[in-house]
Structure 1
Amino acid sequence: MSTTQIFLIHLFELIAAVLGTIYLKKKYRDDNKSSRYLVLFLWLTVLVEKVGLIPRLSVSFDELAFFKDTFLGKSNYWIYNPYNIISFLFYIYYMKMNVVSNKNKNILKVLSIFYLLITSVNLIFVEGFFAKSLSGLTFILGSLLIMYAVGLYFYEVLQSDIILNFKKMLPFYVAIGVLVFNLVVTPLFIYSKFYAHNNPDFIKVYTSVLIILNVFLYSCYSLGFILCWQKNKSY
């Protein structure tokens, strides 16, 4: 990605985190802890993205050239692979907090433990903590579990009166953003593992789609914060 494209994604991430912080300070009746965890996770994402820029910055700025010979400057997969595990676990946990059925909560809890064990063992003992690419197992398995968790959430919404007010529910916007993101990016990610290095045209398409999906994802969060804050303000 170009510097401009990266800046665009980081900007939307930052906007979502700032709006989330404002939402937490302005809301009145929303006692749902999941919204607080979401905002904390967004700020974690902002931080990780900034650290992930070190390899690029160490090449562009002489003041940071000393990072080139360290693990910080050689690659950023060392932070993105663990972050991806945390990210997928968070979204599964977020959906778990917003489903009502104890059965569904227990299912998501078991799946989270299973995912954590499998991906941690794979990252430490198989692919290596300092792998030279994103972990396919972490991403693909995590995406499937997230889509399942979001499916459980939507199923409960459709089966209850909540659907009448879904437009003013923050989890709805999170679920939409995460579902669309993973539905589109997962097959592209799988394809890229086999063909990206021999197909520059695919890389351009893949990069463009990633930018659009990231903008869509964080726009969903921002829209959710704004609309749900207006709902609370109306009280």
Structure 2
Amino acid sequence: MDFLIVVNLLELASAIVGTFYITKYRVDSITRYFVYFLWLTALVEIIFGWIPWFIYYYESLSYYKNTWLVSNHWIYNTYFVISFIFYTVYFLFYIKTKLVKFFLILFIIVYFLSSVYVYISTEIFFSNISIFTYVLGSIMISLSILWYSYEILKGDKILNFYRNLSSYVAFGALSFHLLVTPIFIYGKYYSDENPEFVSIRTIILYGANIFLYTCYILGFILCYRKNRFG
């Protein structure tokens, strides 16, 4: 629980620092939407993420143990779809190659429709995290980040990459999904019968989240200082 509280605090801190960044420094619209997305993430994690814990430990809420509220899979399945699409659109904003932009837009449409189909045609929406949705979304994000990075490397922007918040977002998001996606793929081993996997999963998941939001916070601070003071 201590790790979860730390992650929640970092999520909230990244949203607060991001808000300070966009109010003190003139930024493009996609950066503002990124900060709004961080607030959405913090609210989902802090409000909805803790619902099962309160139901389990507070006797006054025991009535809800037999309802869909006892699990937060439904909110995270919804959030993951929003998250994967947002990140892809975020990097799509910076990508210049028209063919790649068209491919990613098509990927987003296919991803959204296939995710909705999976949730409607199966019972996984309330019972577990959809591996299909998560893995396909991770592939979509990774492709958008890799192409964004390729355009940065081959252009003049590589000289000032440390001034761009998108560089910190790309590094943090790609590292996070490369670390976390495998533990979702092997999610079937997450049970009391496999304590070693549960322990490793917990360490990777919380460690990756701490790294991700630390990257965002540092990105906001460093970009603000470098763009303000040179």
**TM-score normalised to the size of structure 2?**
0.94
CA distance in 2, matches of 1:20, 1:13: 11
Q: CA deviation at 1:63?
A: 5.0
The equivalent residue for 2:102 is 106
Partner amino acid for 2:58?
A: F
Matched, 1:196 2:187: no
Change (3 A) 1:136 1:200: same
The equivalent residue for 2:20 is 22
**Cα RMSD between the aligned structures?**
1.5
SS in 1 for 2:128: coil
Partner amino acid for 2:57?
A: S
CA distance in 2, matches of 1:229, 1:127: 46
CA distance in 2, matches of 1:63, 1:13: 29
CA distance in 2, matches of 1:38, 1:67: 34
Partner amino acid for 2:190?
A: A
Q: CA deviation at 1:52?
A: 2.0
Partner amino acid for 2:41?
A: T
Partner amino acid for 1:19?
A: V
SS in 1 for 2:219: helix
Q: Contact between 2:92 and 2:144, CA under 8 Å: does it hold in 1?
A: yes
The equivalent residue for 1:8 is 6
> Equivalent of 2:166, from 164, 171, 182?
171
The equivalent residue for 2:213 is 218
CA distance in 1, matches of 2:142, 2:87: 10
Partner amino acid for 2:164?
A: M
The equivalent residue for 2:201 is 206
Q: CA deviation at 1:163?
A: 0.3
Q: CA deviation at 1:104?
A: 2.0
Query: What's the CA shift string for 1:68-111, capped at 9, x where partnerless?
Result: 34322x11111110111111111111110111222222111111
CA distance in 2, matches of 1:65, 1:187: 34
Matched, 1:157 2:152: yes
SS in 1 for 2:23: helix
CA distance in 1, matches of 2:74, 2:204: 24
- Structure 1: 5+ residue runs without aligned partners? none
- Structure 2: 5+ residue runs without aligned partners? none
> Equivalent of 1:68, from 65, 68, 91?
65
Partner amino acid for 1:16?
A: S
Query: What's the CA shift string for 1:185-225, capped at 9, x where partnerless?
Result: 112221232x3333211110110111110000001111111
The count of corresponding residues between Structure 1 and Structure 2 is: 228
Q: Contact between 2:163 and 2:227, CA under 8 Å: does it hold in 1?
A: no
The equivalent residue for 1:147 is 142
Name the stretch that deviates more: 196-205 or 77-86.
Answer: 196-205
> Equivalent of 1:39, from 35, 42, 45?
35
Partner amino acid for 2:211?
A: F
**TM-score normalised to the size of structure 1?**
0.92
CA distance in 2, matches of 1:63, 1:226: 43
Change (3 A) 1:115 1:10: same
The equivalent residue for 2:51 is 54
CA distance in 1, matches of 2:145, 2:53: 35
Change (3 A) 1:23 1:64: farther
Q: Contact between 1:92 and 1:146, CA under 8 Å: does it hold in 2?
A: yes
The percent of aligned pairs where both chains have the same amino acid is 43
The equivalent residue for 2:182 is 187
